[in-house]
């Protein structure tokens, strides 16, 4: 991580926070379809892979749980599989950790296994490491930003501070943004290793921003929840409509945000459109 990210301080009055996977980077579908889902089916010995993988994609890509933390998603998918009759063994330790831990990351999981080893936690750690390794080694040349992102970020960073706020693996996000020359438009970087998105926004607010001057840009309900928890604004990137969403962000939403016209009816109309899209798949 570069020194500018480690020592970030507020430069402008406004801040735009941007999620990575599925929001700025067109990597979310391929990561889940090629790595997250299939690797979890392998590690936990899923028999009916077709049904399991269909459910995995619904949970992570096409429903109101889109973008949920990988470990929470794993628990959801495994519980659904158990309810369909899959024999997965005891996953109580995993379920308890995913539901109660303040930090859900590989480092936190590794420490838990050292303190309280269990087969389900060890399988989960193996799965998560395999996913990270595959993303870092097999996606080079296939990852790309959505159309409009590079130009959009270059415009936004002329007007506001910009922070990456992602729950994805730090190394993967960093390599993707470097590879596509996006980091020049970024002032701060928060990934999985620095806690939840809500915690990231809370930390950014300590830099001196007014909550009315902070906008979270994301593609999932978790992004909206992180914004709401901190009392800042939310702008949705609609899946399958990413270019249109980025164009609207730059040309319509950003001016309203900076002119004090974002709150109320305008933001609510954007949120309604976002939830109406997600609800089609629940």
pLDDT band for 233, please (50, 70, 90 cuts): very high
If asked whether residues 121 and 63 sit together in one domain, one would say: yes
pLDDT score at 3 = 61
Mean of pLDDT values over 77-94 = 97
pLDDT in tens, 171-221: 889 989 999 999 999 999 999 888 889 999 999 999 999 999 999 999 999
User: Over 90: is that where the pLDDT of 246 sits?
Assistant: yes
pLDDT score at 218 = 98
More confident residue, 242 or 136: 242
User: Over 70: is that where the pLDDT of 107 sits?
Assistant: yes
pLDDT score at 64 = 86
| Tokens read off for 194 | 């620095």
CA 159 to chain centre: 24
pLDDT score at 2 = 54
More confident residue, 138 or 255: 255
Mean of pLDDT values over 258-281 = 94
If asked whether residues 130 and 204 sit together in one domain, one would say: no
* Domains contained in the chain, number: 2
User: Over 60: is that where the pLDDT of 138 sits?
Assistant: yes
Three-point CA angle 81, 27, 2, nearest 5°: 120
> What is the β-pairing status of strands 188-190 and 214-218?
unpaired
pLDDT score at 122 = 98
pLDDT score at 104 = 87
More confident residue, 78 or 1: 78
If asked whether residues 116 and 200 sit together in one domain, one would say: no
If asked whether residues 256 and 169 sit together in one domain, one would say: yes
If asked whether residues 44 and 88 sit together in one domain, one would say: yes
If asked whether residues 153 and 19 sit together in one domain, one would say: yes
pLDDT score at 270 = 98
pLDDT score at 281 = 66
pLDDT in tens, 53-70: 999 999 999 888 998 889
If asked whether residues 262 and 174 sit together in one domain, one would say: yes
Beta strands in the chain (DSSP E): 15-18, 161-165, 188-190, 214-218, 233-236
pLDDT score at 143 = 86
Domain that holds residue 68: 28-138
If asked whether residues 60 and 176 sit together in one domain, one would say: no
If asked whether residues 154 and 250 sit together in one domain, one would say: yes
If asked whether residues 194 and 162 sit together in one domain, one would say: yes
Classify 163 as helix, strand or coil: strand
Mean of pLDDT values over 214-241 = 96
User: Over 90: is that where the pLDDT of 159 sits?
Assistant: yes
| Tokens read off for 220 | 């999932």
Q: What is the mean pLDDT of the chain?
A: 94
pLDDT score at 140 = 79
Name residue, tokens 């270059």: 154
Nearest to 9 by CA among 188, 170, 154: 188
Lowest mean pLDDT among 2-11, 12-21, 125-134, 270-279: 2-11
């Amino acid at each position: 991580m570069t020194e500018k990210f480690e020592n970030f301080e507020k430069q402008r009055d406004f801040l735009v926070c941007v999620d990575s996977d599925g929001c700025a980077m067109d990597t979310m579908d391929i990561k889940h379809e090629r790595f997250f889902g299939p690797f979890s089916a392998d590690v936990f010995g899923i028999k009916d892979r077709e049904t399991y993988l269909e459910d995995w994609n619904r949970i992570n890509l096409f429903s109101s749980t889109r973008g949920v933390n990988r470990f929470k998603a794993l628990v959801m998918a495994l519980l659904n599989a158990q309810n369909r009759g899959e024999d997965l063994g005891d996953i109580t330790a995993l379920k308890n950790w995913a539901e109660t831990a303040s930090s859900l990351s590989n480092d936190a999981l590794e420490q838990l296994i050292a303190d309280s080893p269990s087969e389900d936690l060890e399988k989960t750690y193996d799965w998560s490491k395999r996913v990270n390794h595959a993303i870092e080694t097999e996606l080079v040349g296939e990852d790309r930003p959505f159309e409009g992102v590079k130009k959009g970020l270059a415009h936004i960073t002329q007007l506001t501070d910009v922070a990456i706020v992602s729950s994805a693996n730090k190394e993967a996000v960093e390599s993707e943004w470097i590879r596509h020359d996006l980091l020049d438009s970024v002032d701060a970087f928060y990934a999985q290793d620095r806690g939840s998105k809500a915690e990231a926004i809370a930390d950014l607010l300590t830099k001196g921003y007014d909550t009315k001057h902070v906008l979270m840009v994301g593609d999932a309900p978790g992004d909206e929840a992180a914004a709401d928890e901190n009392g800042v604004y939310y702008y949705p990137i609609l899946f399958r409509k990413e270019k249109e969403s980025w164009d609207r962000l730059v040309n319509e939403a950003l001016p309203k945000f900076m002119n004090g016209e974002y709150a109320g009816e305008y933001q609510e109309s954007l949120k309604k459109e976002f939830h109406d899209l997600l609800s089609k798949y629940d």
